[in-house]
Amino acid sequence: MDPLYAGGEGVPQQLPTFLGNHDIGRFSTFVRKANPDASDAEQLARVKLAHSMLLLLRGVPTIYSGDEQGFVGDGHDQDAREPLFPSQVAVYNDNRLLGTAATTASANFDTAHPLYRHIAALAKLRAIEPSLRGGVQRVLNADEEPGLFAVARRLPEGNRGPFIDTIIAFNTSSKPLKANVMIDPRIEVTKSLWGNCAQPSAPGTLPVEIEPFGTLVCAGAVAVQ
């Protein structure tokens, strides 16, 4: 669909992308309401996966303040405006946050919070790897049911050296995933950028193994003699 934008494929890369905000509410709230019987660990894993998608797929990622501290609101607008500073608002302070025993009654600037660390690591990878910021995106696989979603990000010719594509694969299911991703047949070797990437098993075929709600990022290149 990206080529259909006025201005071409580069335009969507300039558009802000987000999981939630004060208007619609926090993504963590949606996850908890949609999966009320899921454990805290599963809810946290789902929110981590969403942030992986936010920071690795095309667009300008926009993170709502407090999401990195595991804030879970009661709804949208006023129910999603919890501050990082200590709050005196009862309907905020009774919220059960993700990934922490803290509440909004105390300050929340925890750089050790699992979501903070996850987002920071992804932001560092995005800063290092140009294709994650400016590469044109094409979908390689999209299961209709929870499972494999994979894309390739590609820089223009002359800007990527021996590398052809950055291959990003997500497991959107609650079970471990093993599958083959169809890639550019010129790719002969891969380099692991996030997770453990296998080597192509045949021209145009990359085997992947991904944990539940996990992410894999592989730089695919021609072999350098």
Identify the pLDDT of residue 63: 97
Chain centroid offset of residue 191 CA? 19
What DSSP letter does each residue of 139-193 carry, written as one string?
EEEE-SSSSEEEEEEEPPTTSSTTEEEEEEEEE-SSS-EEEEEE--TT--EEEEE
Scan for tokens 């950028």, then name that residue: 193
Kindly list the domain boundaries of the chain, sorted by start residue.
Answer: 2-126, 135-221
Scan for tokens 């899921």, then name that residue: 38
Identify the pLDDT of residue 11: 81
DSSP annotation of 29 reads: H
Q: Distance between CA atoms of 214 and 196, rounded to whole angstroms?
A: 11
Q: What are the backbone angles phi and psi of residue 91, rounded to the nearest 5°? A: -75, -15
Scan for tokens 């990003």, then name that residue: 168
Residues 6+ apart with CB under 8 A from 81: 22, 73
Query: Which segments of 80-146 are extended strands (E)?
Result: 136-142
Residues 6+ apart with CB under 8 A from 159: 130
Q: Distance between CA atoms of 10 and 207, rounded to whole angstroms?
A: 29
Distances (CA, A) of 178 to 17, 188, 209: 29, 20, 5
Task: Confirm whether pTM is higher than 0.75.
Answer: yes
pLDDT digit string (tens) for the chain, length 225 residues: 677 778 777 788 889 999 999 999 999 999 999 999 999 999 999 999 999 999 999 999 999 999 999 999 999 999 999 999 999 999 999 999 999 999 999 999 999 999 999 999 999 999 999 999 999 999 999 999 999 999 999 998 877 778 999 999 999 999 999 999 999 999 999 999 999 999 999 999 999 999 999 999 999 999 875
Both tokens of residue 106? 């105390």
Both tokens of residue 174? 């609650």
**192-201 LR contacts (CB < 8 Å, sep 24+):** 192/217, 192/218, 193/125, 193/129, 193/166, 193/217, 193/218, 193/219, 194/122, 194/125, 197/167
Q: Which CATH superfamily is domain 135-221 in?
A: Golgi alpha-mannosidase II (2.60.40.1180)
DSSP annotation of 9 reads: T
Both tokens of residue 129? 């790897």
